[in-house]
């Protein structure tokens, strides 16, 4: 720094030094006042270029962690919706189990067992309704996740790509009545062979074990009314117009299988078969569509095709008409309850995982915020201290500038 020479007044070096110091003080005081006003240590890139870059990275990470925490919260809400549906399904299954246990006692009569059977059918339908109505953003949660891509729910639970947590169909399988083994499955079959034989004075259509063809597109039906196996329908024409005909169900081996309707086993159904086809209600969710148009000109020994389909959807497939059947239904419901409990366990375990992730992310987010805060934000106490210091320096520098401006006037004494 240049030293003031008061004998040379053409340049007031002392005042210039004082002015420069005052300008420096004003600049520093401005920096600290801006930090106090904004709360930020870095208010422009020139304040700390490297620090701004590091702080921006921390800021991005901090925001990403917050979004991941929000995603976890949404995921836990989704699981809560699914869990509520599962709990209600389990409640219904337990009530159904109680009813079948009640029916397993011979203290009940046929009418009481029929009432229980109807109640079980209604409960089964309600389980399916719950499956259809338990949704998240229009997608079903209890149907094996079939509405989601790859039958799984992917939750973005981390700040980086690929940091996901998934709920798969193996963890959250379907809980509709069919999957649980208590409801009927939709099935169909076509083209069973019918042999025309002579019966009295008219033509009778009957299916026998020997007429069962490997070309028959078979389906497997499970449940107590229809034991596991392949089936065909035997239709006996009551008249040439199809009126008063009877329909019976046979297994592939030729054993007759009774229909089950309203607690009562029925060996056959009386139907009026038309050439355009007739839908026969076989009870308890079982329907058969019979198309016997080929029989309008049937002759002895002719072989005609019977277009046959049957469906069983949504109905309870157990029987409580006897104590033994009710006990079998109890076992099936025990298995269904265990299946739902397993799904609830999977949801609970995943919910716990999400809670752990949420806690870990919260800790990471706080630490990231602290790192960003130390770089980017102002130390208010320190900056207030510095601002006070520079305010004092500003006052002293101003006073010294005034004195420096007066000092050259001493040379005037030489001219007296």
Q: Quick one: pLDDT at residue 1? A: 67
Q: Provide the pLDDT for residue 372.
A: 92
Q: Which domains, from first to last, does the chain contain? A: 58-181+321-366 (1.20.1330.10), 192-312 (no CATH)
Q: What is the pLDDT of residue 50?
A: 93
* pTM of the predicted protein model: 0.65
Res 293: pLDDT = 57
pLDDT beneath 50: ranges in the chain: 187-230, 262-263, 283-285, 294, 296-312
pLDDT at position 272, please? Answer: 73
pLDDT value of residue 210? 30
Per-residue confidence (pLDDT) for residue 208, from 0 to 100? 35
Helix/strand/coil (H/E/C) assignment for every residue in the chain = CCCCCCCCCCCCHHHHHHHHHHHHHHHHHHHHHHHHHHCECCCCHHHCHHHHHHHHHHHHHHHHHHHHHHHHHHHHHHHHHHHHHHHHHHHHHHHHHHHHHHHCCCCCCHHHHHHHHHHHHHHHHHHHHHHHHCEECCEECCCCCCCCHHHEEEEECCCCCCCEEEEECCCCCCCCCCCCCCECCCCCCECEEEEEEEECCEEEEECCHHHCCCCCECCCCCCCCCCCCCEEEEEECCCCCCCCEEEEEEECCCCEECEEECCEEECCEEECCCCCCEEEEEECCEEEEEECHHHHHCCCCCEEEEEEEEEECCCECCCCCCHHHHHHHHHHHHHHHHHHHHHHHHHHHHHHHHHHHHHHHHHHHHHHHHHHHHHHECCHHHHHHHHHHHHHHHHHHHHHHHHHHHHHHHHHHHHC
pLDDT tens, position by position, 97-142: 999 999 999 999 888 988 998 899 889 989 999 999 999 999 999 9
Q: Are 365 and 23 in contact (CB under 8 A)?
A: no
Looking at residue 196, what is its pLDDT? 38
Tens of pLDDT, residues 327-357 = 989 999 999 999 999 999 999 999 999 999 9
pLDDT of residue 345: 95
């Amino acid at each position: 720094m240049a030293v003031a020479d008061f004998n040379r007044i053409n340049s007031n070096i002392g005042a210039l030094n004082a002015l420069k110091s005052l300008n420096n003080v004003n600049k520093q005081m401005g920096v600290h006042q801006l930090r106090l006003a904004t709360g930020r240590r870095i208010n422009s890139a020139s304040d700390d270029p490297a620090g701004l870059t590091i702080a921006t990275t921390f800021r991005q990470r901090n925001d990403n962690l917050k979004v991941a925490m929000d995603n976890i919260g949404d995921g836990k809400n989704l699981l809560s919706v699914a869990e509520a549906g599962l709990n209600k399904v389990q409640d219904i299954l337990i009530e159904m189990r109680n009813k079948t246990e009640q029916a397993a006692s011979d203290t009940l009569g046929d009418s009481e067992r029929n009432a229980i059977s109807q109640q079980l059918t209604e409960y089964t339908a309600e389980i399916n309704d719950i499956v259809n109505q338990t949704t998240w953003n229009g997608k079903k949660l209890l149907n094996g996740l079939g509405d989601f891509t790859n039958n799984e729910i992917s939750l973005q639970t981390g700040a980086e790509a690929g940091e996901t947590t998934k709920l798969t169909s193996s963890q959250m399988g379907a809980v509709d009545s069919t999957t649980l083994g208590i409801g009927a499955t939709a099935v169909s079959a076509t083209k069973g062979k019918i042999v025309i034989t002579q019966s009295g004075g008219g033509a009778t259509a009957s299916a026998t074990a020997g007429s069962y063809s490997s070309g028959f597109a078979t389906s497997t039906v499970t449940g107590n009314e229809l034991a596991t196996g392949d089936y065909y329908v035997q239709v006996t024409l009551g008249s040439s117009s199809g009126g008063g005909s009877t329909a019976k169900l046979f297994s592939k081996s030729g054993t007759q299988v009774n229909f089950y309707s309203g607690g009562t086993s029925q060996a056959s159904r009386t139907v009026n078969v038309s050439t355009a086809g007739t839908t026969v209600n076989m009870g308890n969710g079982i329907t058969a569509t019979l198309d016997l148009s080929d029989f309008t000109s049937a002759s002895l020994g002719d072989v005609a095709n019977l277009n046959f389909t049957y469906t069983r959807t949504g109905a309870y497939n157990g029987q409580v008409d006897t104590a033994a059947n009710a006990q079998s239904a109890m076992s099936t419901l025990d298995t269904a309850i265990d299946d739902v409990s397993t799904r609830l366990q999977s949801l609970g375990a995943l919910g716990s995982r999400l809670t752990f992730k949420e806690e870990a992310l919260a800790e990471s987010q706080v630490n990231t915020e602290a790192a960003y805060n130390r770089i980017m934000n102002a130390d208010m106490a320190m900056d207030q201290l510095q601002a006070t210091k520079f305010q004092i320096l500003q006052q002293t520098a101003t006073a010294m500038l005034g004195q420096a401006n007066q000092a050259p006037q001493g040379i005037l004494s030489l001219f007296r």
